[in-house]
Chains A and B, each alone.
Chain A
Amino acid sequence: MASTDISLNKDVHHAHDEHDHHHDQNFFEKYIFSQDHKVIAKQFLFAGIFWGFIGGFLSIIFRLQLGWPEATFTFLEPILGNWIVNGKLDPEFYLALVTMHGTIMVFFVLTAGLSGTFSNFLIPLQIGARDMASGFMNMLSFWIFFLASVIMFWSLFIETGPAGGGWTVYPPLSALPQAISGSGLGMTLWLISMALFIVSQLLGGVNYITTVINLRTKGMSMTKLPLTIWSFFLTAILGLLSFPVLFSAALLLIFDRSFGTSFFLSDIYIAGEALANTGGSAILFQHLFWFLGHPEVYIVILPTFGIVSEVIATNSRKPIFGYRAMIGSMLGISLLSFVVWAHHMFVTGMNPFLGSVFMFLTLIIAVPSAVKVFNWIATLWRGNIRFTTAMMFAVAFVSLFISGGLTGIILGNSALDIQLHDTYFVIAHFHLVMGAAAFFGMFCGIYHWFPKMFGRMMDEKLGFVHFWLTFLSAYLVFMPMHYIGIAGFPRRYYSWTGFDAFNTFTDLNSFISLAAILGFGAQLIFLFNFIYSIFKGRRATANPWHSNTLEWTTPVNPGHGNWPGEIPTVYRWPYDYSKPGAAEDYIPQNVPFSQTQSSNLPYERDLE
């Protein structure tokens, strides 16, 4: 196995070493326009947390409306100004809220905040590299993301409001300012911001892929990579292949909006006049959007697969069960994620035959996903589990992933999707499986790698409180939504009281809103813990979790270049936990077999 190891990167690193030791950086180079992957990772993390709070806050506002549709919200006037009319939330602003909540959470928090943080931070540290393949491109990636963020943030404050056509921005609604005021300047800013965002993702993605392929340290074969790196690697590939398609869709939409083309527009009569556009296809946009949009949900969830696998193995003190099956299932999921997009479009009038093909392909994804869940559970079996906060989030992640994933089997079935499409059943499904679960994976990663990022520990007790409140509220919010969804309550409704069919569940909706407020409040505990621990947290040791991967062989506060001396060589896979015969219950990857003769397995004796 190890005879196939390759090391291409020796020379590169020597050149880099010398560079590091002779160059003093000023403040701007070190903290603002830094090319160090660790600083860039933290920049993404801070931006992600900022966006997370904005996105969460928006959801609280619309949950107030949904929980208490008859109430007046005059007290929100100081924040929302003219969006409150006579104490009532403006219906178009409500739509803008759900649109921005979706956009922010999916793209700015769970794509940029998640991949940006952990791919940047962990790829060089875990594969044994001094930095990313191109530090400069990496820096550009963050700053272009920053620019995208500024534009998106700005759009929240303009007079006509931010984009309001749903995060999927289906034209013609998103193409025609006459149809909804958010499709004016707000939508223009949305498109510009997203175009920049895609550029940022591509710059980042190219870097992640190149780094994983080329800069692995001596001995680090692909089959010795921690699952985190596999997941980041596959995520980057998905992004690289699918984001350009969204870019093209955005570009065509810009043309339709501003230059009178008819890619997506046809036969429209609006605001008292028939438009000249003819021959376009509104469905075409949906195909293009979901060609990104579906891989996108895996871009959100794959990194957390890796993070959770790593944390569960470390804290169960057991090797991850079925390492190769885990890689195989991630490869399978990545591949399949490109051929299931039209399951979002079963009732759009698409040819029913296509519907059957996409149903088949969609339900296949359940198989590799099930394998992953079984492997995680098998990893816990007969472990010696340490309940660190990260571990609790990892276990809860698996629970949420099961709960949300299973309903995907229902929604992926085109016949069942007829009734459930665009109802709260869908909301419950994807919030559990890629919203809450991905957030739990992200928290898991933050708690676990915080010591390596900041040299201090986060407070575990506060972590527990944060965890239990968040876990509880995640289920209290999203489980009842299934009931509302089965009853057919449509999503993106400002209020359901106009329909006899949907005039039930008012108490349940208030309950959900209360649970959401509880969940949002719990995040303030996290925020306090996070900021406080950066400055005042207990000092960390170099390897506080007794973990095997390479990042824990660096100093407590790794400097530019990560390892002060030579980069460690890798001899073994990252999951030698509780190996029989070993003195400790972990053997880091850089310990040669010659030092662990008492624990070597028969085939490893040859490697001594």
Chain B
Amino acid sequence: MITLAIGLSIVLLLVILFLLFRIGTLASIFRGSTQRAVGTTKTSNKVNSLLMLLFLIVGGAAFAWSFADAWDDMNQPLASVHGGWTDSLFWTTMIVIGIVFVITQILLFWYSYKYQHKDEKRAYYYPHNNKLEIVWTMIPAVVMALLVFAGWKTWANITSAAPADAVVIEVMGKQFSWLVRYPGPDGKLGEANVHLIDATNEIGVDFSDPNSMDDFMPREIHVPKGKPVLLKIRSRDVIHSVFLPHFRVKMDAVPGMPTKFWFVPTKTTAEVRTEIGNPDFNFELACTEICGRGHFAMRFILVVDEPEEYEEWLASQTPFIEQNPQLLTKFTHDAKEQVVLEKSAEEVKTEL
């Protein structure tokens, strides 16, 4: 019954709209506006050009208001050194393009309003002006050159090689979660291989490699404040992307091609919590490359500690293989084989 009523009212509405449309058409024939060239009828032209001006003023005001209103939500807390550079470059560029935006939009709509059709008027025949063309080619070229230089400098700094003392963390994307591995006291990540992956050994760490023995895989990423952190990023199935919004970090995780990104955290989780007055605040890691059904749910927590707290946390971690000793049985045999293989390879080398 309700569906019928809704259907009928929609039909009625459409009929009314159609009748209005017909009446409008007839009225315009009656007024004789159809006799004039399209776009020169007085009322329509006046209304439309006025609306253009209104759109500029009201739209501009609405934009300014909503921008200011969204300001706080728009600016995620910032907690890395290079994030400071990119944020300031971003807002500088925003100001530059904002100026261009305001000027061009005002000219566009103002001219549309001001030079609306008038019967007695004739447009000004002005086909070109080479001087003007050169001027407005050069100005954007110079501005772009400045932006390119600023961008180059920032980009080069961000992508430069990580300092040797950086904390190394391996982050591996999988459908649909993150796996994290620390190198342990020896500072070296052991070898890994997709063919070694099973339900327990999700990263596929090769435990015949001595470097793997102290590697550990925590449920949260912990990093020390003020020290460089190098993320070694991999994926084991499809492409993912490591996104740490508060650190302005993003890098794809590509199967078969390890990537990396390094940054220096500047604020601890606790500091940000007091700063924004939210005791539940956490740094989050999100995926930003479409990876399937659970793409939107690949959340992982990152904690920034004071260096002392970080050391404590490190000391409290136990190596993965100690937690899962049964894995070793799989490797003792393989390991021997590996050694034999390596030996024979060496033999071949010496022979050559």
Contact = CB atoms under 8 A, between A and B. Distances in A.
Contact of A413 (B89, B291, B292): B89
B39 interface: yes
Nearest to A492: B290
A269 B123 contact: no
A100 interface: no
Given A95-B290, A269-B194, A499-B284, A382 B123 contact: yes
A560 to B, nearest CB: 28
A580 B124 CA distance: 8
Nearest to A180: B292
A30 interface: no
B109 interface: yes
Interface stretch (A14-22, A216-224, A345-353): A345-353
Contacts of A371: 133, 136-137, 140
B151 to A, nearest CB: 4
B66 interface: yes
Contacts of B154: 415
A407 interface: yes
Contacts of A487: 73-76, 245
Contacts of A498: 296-297, 299
A173 B257 contact: no
Interface string A514-552: 000000000000000000000000100000111000000
Nearest to A371: B137
A493 interface: yes
A47 interface: no
B126 interface: yes
B125 A577 contact: yes
Contacts of A461: 21, 24-25, 28, 44
Contacts, number: 363
Nearest to B112: A395
B254 A283 contact: yes
A501 B70 contact: no
Contact of B286 (A356, A367, A486, A501): A501
A569 to B, nearest CB: 22
A173 B147 contact: no
Interface stretch (B93-101, B323-331, B336-344): B93-101
Contacts of A318: 123-126
Contacts of A83: none
B257 A282 contact: yes
A355 interface: yes
Chain A interface size, under 10 / 10 to 19 / 20 to 34 / 35 or more: 35 or more
A591 interface: no
B335 interface: no
Interface stretch (B47-55, B182-190, B220-228, B313-321): B47-55
Nearest to B46: A387
A571 B155 CA distance: 54
Contacts of B162: none
Given A415-B86, A493-B295, A172 B238 contact: yes
Contacts of A490: 243, 286-288, 296
Interface in A455-508: 457, 459-462, 464, 468, 471-472, 475, 479-480, 483, 486-488, 490-496, 498-502, 504-505, 508
A244 interface: no
A492 B67 CA distance: 24
Interface in A158-177: 165-166, 170, 172-173, 176
A331 to B, nearest CB: 14
A555 interface: no
Contacts of A355: 155, 159
B246 A319 contact: no
A267 B235 CA distance: 9
Contacts of A179: 175, 237-238, 291-292
Nearest to B240: A173
B345 interface: no
Contacts of B299: 498-499
B252 interface: yes
Interface string B123-140: 111111100110011001
A483 B93 contact: no
A296 to B, nearest CB: 19
Contact of B123 (A316, A483, A545): A316
Contacts of A322: 127-129, 132-133
A359 B151 contact: yes
Nearest to A423: B288
A172 B239 contact: yes
A268 B250 contact: no
Contacts of B112: 380, 385, 395
Interface in B35-88: 37-40, 44-45, 48-49, 51-52, 55, 59, 63, 66-67, 70, 73-76, 83, 85-86
B108 A415 contact: no
A522 to B, nearest CB: 13
Contact of B236 (A95, A269, A585): A269
Nearest to B59: A475
Given A322-B128, A374-B136, A414-B151, A578 B123 contact: yes
A112 to B, nearest CB: 25
Contacts of B259: 348-349
Given A363-B144, A371-B140, A575-B127, 14 more contacts: A267-B236, A268-B236, A324-B128, A367-B144, A370-B140, A383-B123, A387-B116, A415-B89, A419-B86, A421-B250, A487-B74, A492-B290, A496-B296, A501-B286
Interface of B: 21, 24-25, 28, 34, 37-40, 44-45, 48-49, 51-52, 55, 59, 63, 66-67, 70, 73-76, 83, 85-86, 89-90, 93-94, 96-97, 100-101, 104-105, 107-109, 111-112, 115-118, 121-129, 132-133, 136-137, 140-141, 144, 147-148, 151-152, 154-156, 158-159, 174-175, 194-195, 197, 204, 233, 236-239, 241, 243, 245-246, 248-252, 254-259, 280-282, 284, 286-297, 299
14 contacts: A95-B292, A170-B239, A172-B239, A179-B175, A179-B237, A321-B127, A323-B128, A363-B147, A377-B104, A377-B108, A410-B94, A468-B51, A487-B245, A585-B123
Interface of A: 91-92, 95, 165-166, 170, 172-173, 176, 179-180, 265-270, 274-275, 278-283, 315-325, 347-349, 352, 355-356, 359-360, 363-364, 366-367, 370-371, 373-378, 380-388, 391-392, 395, 398-399, 402-403, 406-407, 409-410, 413-416, 418-419, 421-423, 457, 459-462, 464, 468, 471-472, 475, 479-480, 483, 486-488, 490-496, 498-502, 504-505, 508, 538, 544-546, 575, 577-580, 585
